Amino acid sequence: MSFPDLSVCIVNWNTRRYLEQALASVLDAGSVIGLQVVVVGNRSGDGSAEMVRERFPGVTLLESGENLGFARGYNRAAREAAGRHLMMLNPDTVVRPGALERLVAFLDSHPRTGAAGPRLLNPDGSLQLSCRRFPRPLAAVFRNTVLGRLVPGNRFTRDYLMTDWDHETVREVDWVSGAAICIRREAWREVGGLDEGYYMYAEDMDWCLRAGEAGWDIHYVPEAVIVHRIGASSDQRPAAMVREFHRSMARFYRKHYARHWPWGLRWLPVVGIRVRAALVLAQTFLRRGRDLTRGPRRERG
């Protein structure tokens, strides 16, 4: 029995228009490799499931009676996947020709690479910083406080975002964005699936850290290009997503970093995360209030 080269797994929640574009681009880009596509429908109410059945009958559609979140959704897709490699892909992406083939070829030629991430571009063609180093305390301080605005070019932020490099060459990195990440099946089996304690955010960083601890390399492969429109799902519930982001970051800290801090200071990062969450939520509600007050924009005549 032959297995497909790649199983592309997509978790969708109310992104029908983007999902349609993503699936069309995946099927076009994957025409030269053995491909399986699995879509998990997280209880969408926008007709996404009907669209997949009608337009893409060859796609495996798994409908859920609840919104599983990304980690649980991807794990469910992975259980149905038959490919030699797995691809986690956001529905708000467009895969450029040759991208999937290059990622599969890279994993096949680098047996100790557990996962490879493509170059991600914004819709306007600018670079998304989709591979990073693991966060350090000072990077978090400068990224998440007024210090970052006072010293925008500080070395701690540069180090975390890897902005000291042009992202034009293949490089081993700490972690790559789960918006598009190609994972070796053997590494997935050894490391395990995504930590379902993360509803959304940080599950990609967590998996890459665990893979590194198990001896697998993570690589950034810029020859594979995917366009990513950030926030197609999260923009629908901004306040909830702010809460989930900070909850995930607190979980990541407790899981991987807290034991390395002095006992009496372990609470400090969690307090900092909660304070930042409160500030961002306040800004979100204020912005929404201003938008409601202004009302709909009027077109200029």
Domain map of the chain by residue range? Answer: 6-129+167-230, 134-164, 237-290
Report whether pLDDT(261) > 80: no
pLDDT at 237: 65
CATH classification code of 6-129+167-230: 3.90.550.10
Given pLDDT bands bounded at 50, 70 and 90, which one contains residue 279?
confident
Q: What is the pLDDT of residues 187-198, one digit of tens each?
A: 999 999 999 999
pLDDT, tens digit (0-9, with 9 covering 90-100), for 50-108: 999 999 999 999 988 778 889 999 999 999 999 999 999 999 999 999 999 999 999 99
12 contacts 40 by C-beta, under 8 angstroms: yes
Confidence of residue 224 (pLDDT cuts 50, 70, 90): very high
Is it the case that residue 144 has pLDDT exceeding 70?
A: no
Whether the per-residue pLDDT at 147 is higher than 80: the answer is no
Q: Which long-range contacts (CB under 8 A, 24 or more apart) does 102-109 make?
A: 102/221, 102/223, 102/224, 103/6, 103/182, 103/221, 103/224, 104/5, 104/6, 104/33, 104/182, 106/170, 106/182, 106/219, 106/221, 106/224, 107/182, 107/184
Q: Measured between alpha carbons, how far is 147 from 173 in angstroms, rounded to an integer?
A: 26
